[in-house]
Chain A
Amino acid sequence: MRLLDWFRGRRSSGKEVAEQRLRLVLAHDRANISPGMLEILKDELIKVISRHLDVDPEKVEVKLTRDQHETRLVADIPLRPITRSRG
Chain B
Amino acid sequence: MRGKIITISSGKGGVGKTTVTANLGLGLALLGQRVICMDADIGLRNLDVMLGLENRIVYDIINVVEGRCTLPQALVRDKRLRTLRLLPAAQTRDKSAITEADMDRIAHQAAEIADYVIIDSPAGIEHGFRYAVKPADLVLIVTNPEVAAVRDADRVIGLLEADGHVPARLIINRLKPALVRRNEMLDANSVVDLLAIGLIGIVPEDVGILAAGNRGRPVVLDEKSVAGQVFRNIARRLQGEDVPFLPLKAPSFLKRLFGAY
Contacts and interface: CB of A to CB of B under 8 A. Distances in A.
Interface string A18-58: 11011101100110000000000000000000000000000
Contacts of B1: none
Nearest to A30: B158
A81 interface: no
Interface footprint category on A? 10 to 19
A25 B151 contact: yes
A83 interface: no
B107 interface: no
B196 A68 contact: yes
Contacts, number: 44
Q: Is the interface of A mostly helix, strand, loop or mixed?
A: helix
Contact of B194 (A16, A26, A69): A26
Given A14-B183, A22-B147, A30 B196 contact: no
B29 to A, nearest CB: 36
Question: Mostly helix, strand, loop or mixed at chain B's interface?
Answer: helix
Interface stretch (B80-88, B98-106, B184-192): B184-192
Interface in B170-203: 179-180, 183-187, 190, 193-194, 196
Contacts of A30: 154, 158
B119 interface: no
Nearest to A12: B183
Given A25-B147, A25-B151, A29-B151, A19 B196 contact: no
Given A13-B183, A13-B184, A18 B154 contact: no
Nearest to B184: A14
Interface of B: 146-147, 150-151, 154-155, 158, 179-180, 183-187, 190, 193-194, 196
3 cross-chain pairs, A with B, having the tightest CB-CB distances, nearest first: A13-B183, A68-B196, A14-B184
